[in-house]
Protein backbone atom coordinates (compact mmCIF):
# COMPACT_ATOMS: atom_id res chain seq x y z
CA UNK A 1 0.00 0.00 0.00
CA UNK A 2 2.85 2.40 0.78
CA UNK A 3 4.33 1.78 -2.67
CA UNK A 4 0.93 2.36 -4.32
CA UNK A 5 0.45 5.66 -2.47
CA UNK A 6 3.97 6.74 -3.40
CA UNK A 7 3.37 5.82 -7.04
CA UNK A 8 0.13 7.84 -7.09
CA UNK A 9 1.93 10.89 -5.72
CA UNK A 10 4.76 10.52 -8.24
CA UNK A 11 2.30 10.16 -11.16
CA UNK A 12 0.36 13.25 -10.10
CA UNK A 13 3.58 15.26 -9.75
CA UNK A 14 4.97 14.04 -13.08
CA UNK A 15 1.66 14.74 -14.82
CA UNK A 16 1.58 18.30 -13.51
CA UNK A 17 5.23 18.97 -14.42
CA UNK A 18 4.88 17.40 -17.87
CA UNK A 19 1.75 19.41 -18.62
CA UNK A 20 3.28 22.70 -17.47
CA UNK A 21 6.57 22.09 -19.29
CA UNK A 22 4.77 20.95 -22.43
CA UNK A 23 2.58 24.04 -22.47
CA UNK A 24 5.65 26.21 -21.85
CA UNK A 25 7.56 24.55 -24.69
CA UNK A 26 4.65 25.13 -27.06
CA UNK A 27 4.37 28.79 -26.06
CA UNK A 28 8.13 29.31 -26.44
CA UNK A 29 8.27 27.76 -29.93
CA UNK A 30 5.02 29.26 -31.23
CA UNK A 31 5.77 31.90 -33.87
CA UNK A 32 9.49 31.11 -34.23
CA UNK A 33 10.74 31.91 -37.73
CA UNK A 34 12.89 29.59 -39.86
CA UNK A 35 14.65 29.87 -43.22
CA UNK A 36 14.40 27.00 -45.70
CA UNK A 37 17.91 25.71 -46.47
CA UNK A 38 17.03 22.71 -48.67
CA UNK A 39 16.86 23.26 -52.42
CA UNK A 40 13.31 21.89 -52.48
CA UNK A 41 11.74 21.29 -49.06
CA UNK A 42 8.54 19.17 -49.08
CA UNK A 43 5.60 20.05 -46.85
CA UNK A 44 3.78 17.06 -45.37
CA UNK A 45 0.26 16.63 -44.03
CA UNK A 46 1.64 14.94 -40.87
CA UNK A 47 5.06 14.51 -39.18
CA UNK A 48 5.80 11.42 -41.24
CA UNK A 49 7.72 11.06 -44.53
CA UNK A 50 5.20 8.44 -45.66
CA UNK A 51 2.33 10.92 -45.50
CA UNK A 52 1.06 12.96 -48.44
CA UNK A 53 3.27 15.78 -49.74
CA UNK A 54 1.25 18.98 -49.98
CA UNK A 55 3.76 21.13 -51.86
CA UNK A 56 7.45 22.13 -51.80
CA UNK A 57 9.17 25.31 -50.66
CA UNK A 58 12.21 26.80 -52.35
CA UNK A 59 15.45 27.59 -50.58
CA UNK A 60 15.38 30.96 -48.83
CA UNK A 61 11.67 30.96 -47.98
CA UNK A 62 10.75 32.15 -44.48
CA UNK A 63 8.30 30.02 -42.52
CA UNK A 64 6.69 30.37 -39.11
CA UNK A 65 6.47 27.54 -36.60
CA UNK A 66 3.08 26.67 -35.15
CA UNK A 67 4.50 24.64 -32.25
CA UNK A 68 7.44 22.52 -31.03
CA UNK A 69 9.36 20.00 -33.11
CA UNK A 70 7.91 16.50 -33.27
CA UNK A 71 9.62 13.38 -34.63
CA UNK A 72 12.12 15.52 -36.54
CA UNK A 73 9.40 17.71 -38.10
CA UNK A 74 8.33 21.28 -37.38
CA UNK A 75 4.65 22.30 -37.67
CA UNK A 76 4.05 25.41 -39.80
CA UNK A 77 1.21 27.88 -40.11
CA UNK A 78 -0.49 27.92 -43.51
CA UNK A 79 -2.29 30.74 -45.26
CA UNK A 80 -5.61 28.99 -44.70
CA UNK A 81 -4.93 28.83 -40.96
CA UNK A 82 -4.22 25.09 -41.05
CA UNK A 83 -1.05 23.15 -40.32
CA UNK A 84 1.66 21.53 -42.44
CA UNK A 85 4.94 19.83 -41.47
CA UNK A 86 8.49 20.39 -42.69
CA UNK A 87 11.64 18.42 -41.82
CA UNK A 88 13.73 20.15 -39.17
CA UNK A 89 16.80 19.28 -41.26
CA UNK A 90 15.43 21.36 -44.16
CA UNK A 91 15.32 24.63 -42.20
CA UNK A 92 17.43 26.75 -39.88
CA UNK A 93 16.25 29.29 -37.28
CA UNK A 94 16.30 32.90 -38.39
CA UNK A 95 18.58 35.11 -36.35
CA UNK A 96 15.68 37.32 -35.37
CA UNK A 97 12.74 35.16 -34.25
CA UNK A 98 10.09 37.88 -34.60
CA UNK A 99 6.82 36.62 -36.04
CA UNK A 100 6.69 36.62 -39.82
CA UNK A 101 4.28 35.57 -42.56
CA UNK A 102 4.44 31.97 -43.68
CA UNK A 103 6.13 32.97 -46.95
CA UNK A 104 8.42 35.84 -47.89
CA UNK A 105 6.60 38.46 -49.96
CA UNK A 106 9.69 38.87 -52.15
CA UNK A 107 9.15 35.40 -53.63
CA UNK A 108 6.23 34.44 -55.84
CA UNK A 109 3.35 32.90 -53.97
CA UNK A 110 2.64 29.29 -54.74
CA UNK A 111 -0.64 27.60 -54.04
CA UNK A 112 -0.90 23.92 -53.29
CA UNK A 113 -3.59 21.91 -55.05
CA UNK A 114 -4.44 20.47 -51.65
CA UNK A 115 -5.30 22.44 -48.55
CA UNK A 116 -2.94 21.63 -45.70
CA UNK A 117 -5.69 21.69 -43.07
CA UNK A 118 -4.80 20.22 -39.70
CA UNK A 119 -2.33 17.35 -39.41
CA UNK A 120 -4.86 15.04 -37.76
CA UNK A 121 -8.43 14.11 -38.68
CA UNK A 122 -11.54 15.65 -37.08
CA UNK A 123 -9.71 18.92 -36.47
CA UNK A 124 -7.29 17.29 -33.98
CA UNK A 125 -3.61 18.15 -33.66
CA UNK A 126 -2.90 14.46 -34.37
CA UNK A 127 -4.47 11.02 -34.02
CA UNK A 128 -2.15 8.05 -33.38
CA UNK A 129 -2.47 4.41 -32.39
CA UNK A 130 -0.38 1.83 -30.57
CA UNK A 131 -0.40 -1.79 -29.43
CA UNK A 132 0.65 -2.73 -25.92
CA UNK A 133 1.33 -5.61 -23.55
CA UNK A 134 1.28 -5.46 -19.75
CA UNK A 135 1.65 -7.77 -16.76
CA UNK A 136 0.89 -7.66 -13.06
CA UNK A 137 -0.73 -9.51 -10.20
CA UNK A 138 -3.63 -9.07 -7.80
CA UNK A 139 -3.16 -11.06 -4.62
CA UNK A 140 -1.68 -14.38 -5.70
CA UNK A 141 -3.19 -14.27 -9.20
CA UNK A 142 -0.91 -13.08 -11.99
CA UNK A 143 -2.16 -11.89 -15.36
CA UNK A 144 -1.18 -10.49 -18.74
CA UNK A 145 -3.05 -7.83 -20.71
CA UNK A 146 -3.07 -6.77 -24.34
CA UNK A 147 -4.47 -3.47 -25.55
CA UNK A 148 -5.02 -1.39 -28.64
CA UNK A 149 -5.16 2.36 -28.08
CA UNK A 150 -6.10 5.52 -29.97
CA UNK A 151 -4.49 8.78 -28.88
CA UNK A 152 -6.31 12.00 -29.75
CA UNK A 153 -3.92 14.94 -29.43
CA UNK A 154 -5.59 18.28 -28.72
CA UNK A 155 -2.14 19.88 -28.40
CA UNK A 156 1.44 18.63 -28.66
CA UNK A 157 1.43 18.31 -24.86
CA UNK A 158 -2.10 17.02 -24.17
CA UNK A 159 -3.80 13.83 -25.38
CA UNK A 160 -6.93 11.82 -24.65
CA UNK A 161 -6.25 8.09 -24.88
CA UNK A 162 -8.86 5.34 -25.26
CA UNK A 163 -7.66 1.74 -25.30
CA UNK A 164 -9.58 -1.53 -25.64
CA UNK A 165 -8.00 -4.23 -23.50
CA UNK A 166 -8.26 -7.89 -22.58
CA UNK A 167 -6.88 -9.29 -19.31
CA UNK A 168 -6.04 -12.99 -19.07
CA UNK A 169 -5.39 -14.17 -15.48
CA UNK A 170 -3.62 -17.35 -14.46
CA UNK A 171 -6.89 -18.41 -12.86
CA UNK A 172 -10.46 -17.10 -12.99
CA UNK A 173 -12.38 -15.27 -15.68
CA UNK A 174 -10.90 -13.01 -18.36
CA UNK A 175 -11.66 -9.28 -18.14
CA UNK A 176 -12.43 -6.99 -21.09
CA UNK A 177 -13.08 -3.30 -21.25
CA UNK A 178 -11.95 0.24 -22.08
CA UNK A 179 -9.27 2.39 -20.47
CA UNK A 180 -9.85 6.13 -20.95
CA UNK A 181 -7.22 8.61 -19.74
CA UNK A 182 -5.88 12.13 -20.14
CA UNK A 183 -2.11 12.35 -20.60
CA UNK A 184 0.20 15.27 -20.08
CA UNK A 185 3.06 14.88 -22.57
CA UNK A 186 6.62 16.18 -22.73
CA UNK A 187 8.44 15.67 -26.05
CA UNK A 188 12.23 15.37 -25.84
CA UNK A 189 14.71 14.44 -28.58
CA UNK A 190 13.77 10.84 -29.48
CA UNK A 191 11.91 10.44 -26.17
CA UNK A 192 8.37 11.22 -25.03
CA UNK A 193 7.40 11.27 -21.34
CA UNK A 194 3.76 11.04 -20.29
CA UNK A 195 1.67 10.80 -17.13
CA UNK A 196 -1.93 11.30 -16.11
CA UNK A 197 -5.15 9.96 -14.61
CA UNK A 198 -7.80 7.75 -16.16
CA UNK A 199 -10.73 5.42 -15.57
CA UNK A 200 -11.16 1.75 -16.46
CA UNK A 201 -14.58 0.49 -17.58
CA UNK A 202 -14.64 -3.31 -17.43
CA UNK A 203 -16.74 -6.40 -16.85
CA UNK A 204 -16.36 -8.74 -13.85
CA UNK A 205 -16.90 -5.76 -11.49
CA UNK A 206 -13.39 -4.52 -12.40
CA UNK A 207 -14.05 -0.83 -13.14
CA UNK A 208 -11.77 1.58 -11.24
CA UNK A 209 -9.76 4.80 -11.61
CA UNK A 210 -6.05 4.61 -12.41
CA UNK A 211 -2.85 6.62 -12.70
CA UNK A 212 -0.14 5.92 -15.27
CA UNK A 213 3.21 7.22 -16.43
CA UNK A 214 5.99 6.15 -18.76
CA UNK A 215 8.53 6.84 -21.50
CA UNK A 216 8.41 6.16 -25.24
CA UNK A 217 11.45 5.92 -27.52
CA UNK A 218 10.71 6.89 -31.12
CA UNK A 219 12.93 5.60 -33.92
CA UNK A 220 11.78 6.29 -37.46
CA UNK A 221 8.15 5.24 -37.77
CA UNK A 222 8.25 3.00 -34.69
CA UNK A 223 7.66 3.65 -31.01
CA UNK A 224 8.92 1.42 -28.20
CA UNK A 225 8.33 2.24 -24.58
CA UNK A 226 7.04 1.23 -21.19
CA UNK A 227 5.82 2.42 -17.83
CA UNK A 228 3.69 1.78 -14.78
CA UNK A 229 -0.07 1.89 -14.22
CA UNK A 230 -1.66 1.87 -10.77
CA UNK A 231 -5.30 0.70 -10.83
CA UNK A 232 -6.89 2.16 -7.71
CA UNK A 233 -9.35 -0.60 -6.79
CA UNK A 234 -9.44 0.65 -3.18
CA UNK A 235 -11.20 3.83 -4.38
CA UNK A 236 -14.29 1.89 -5.46
CA UNK A 237 -14.20 -1.23 -3.27
CA UNK A 238 -13.59 -1.44 0.44
CA UNK A 239 -10.66 -3.67 1.45
CA UNK A 240 -9.66 -4.15 -2.21
CA UNK A 241 -6.00 -4.27 -3.20
CA UNK A 242 -4.61 -1.76 -5.66
CA UNK A 243 -3.13 -3.22 -8.81
CA UNK A 244 0.37 -2.20 -9.98
CA UNK A 245 0.82 -2.98 -13.67
CA UNK A 246 3.99 -2.88 -15.76
CA UNK A 247 3.34 -2.22 -19.43
CA UNK A 248 5.30 -2.36 -22.65
CA UNK A 249 4.40 -0.65 -25.92
CA UNK A 250 5.25 -3.27 -28.51
CA UNK A 251 4.72 -1.20 -31.62
CA UNK A 252 3.02 1.95 -32.67
CA UNK A 253 3.75 5.53 -33.42
CA UNK A 254 1.33 5.23 -36.33
CA UNK A 255 -0.58 8.33 -37.43
CA UNK A 256 -4.08 8.34 -38.88
For 82-110, write each residue's pLDDT tens digit.
Answer: 688 899 888 888 875 444 444 433 333 33
Q: Of the candidates 94, 119, 144, which is a domain's last residue?
A: 119
Other CB atoms closer than 10 Å to residue 200's CB: what's the count? 24
pLDDT value of position 16: 55
Q: How many domains does the chain have?
A: 2
Domain membership of residue 50 (yes or no) is yes
pLDDT at site 250: 67
Same-domain pairing of 75 and 155: no
What per-residue confidence (pLDDT) applies to 104?
38
| Same structural domain, 13 and 61 | no
Instruction: Give the pLDDT of residue 129.
Output: 84
Flag whether 195 is in a domain: yes
| Residue 70 located in a structural domain | yes
| pTM, rounded to two decimals | 0.58
The parent domain of residue 101 ranges over: 31-119
pLDDT score, position 111: 37
pLDDT in tens, the chain (256 residues): 555 565 566 556 555 555 555 555 444 455 688 888 888 889 888 888 888 788 888 888 888 888 888 888 999 877 666 688 899 888 888 875 444 444 433 333 333 333 333 455 777 777 888 888 999 988 889 999 999 999 998 988 899 999 999 999 999 999 999 999 999 999 887 788 999 999 999 999 999 999 999 998 877 666 788 999 999 999 999 888 899 999 988 655 455 5
pLDDT at 229: 95
- 154 with 178, same domain: the answer is yes
Q: Residue 148 domain-assigned? A: yes
Q: Same domain for 245 and 206?
A: yes
Amino acid sequence: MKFARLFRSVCIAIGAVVTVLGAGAQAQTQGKVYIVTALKAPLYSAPDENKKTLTTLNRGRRVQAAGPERNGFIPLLTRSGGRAWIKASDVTPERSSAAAPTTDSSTPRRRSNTSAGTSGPFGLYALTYDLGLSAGSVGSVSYTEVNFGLNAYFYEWLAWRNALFGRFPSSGNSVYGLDSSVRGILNLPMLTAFAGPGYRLANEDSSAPFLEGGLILKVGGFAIGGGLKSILNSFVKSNASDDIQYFLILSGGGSL
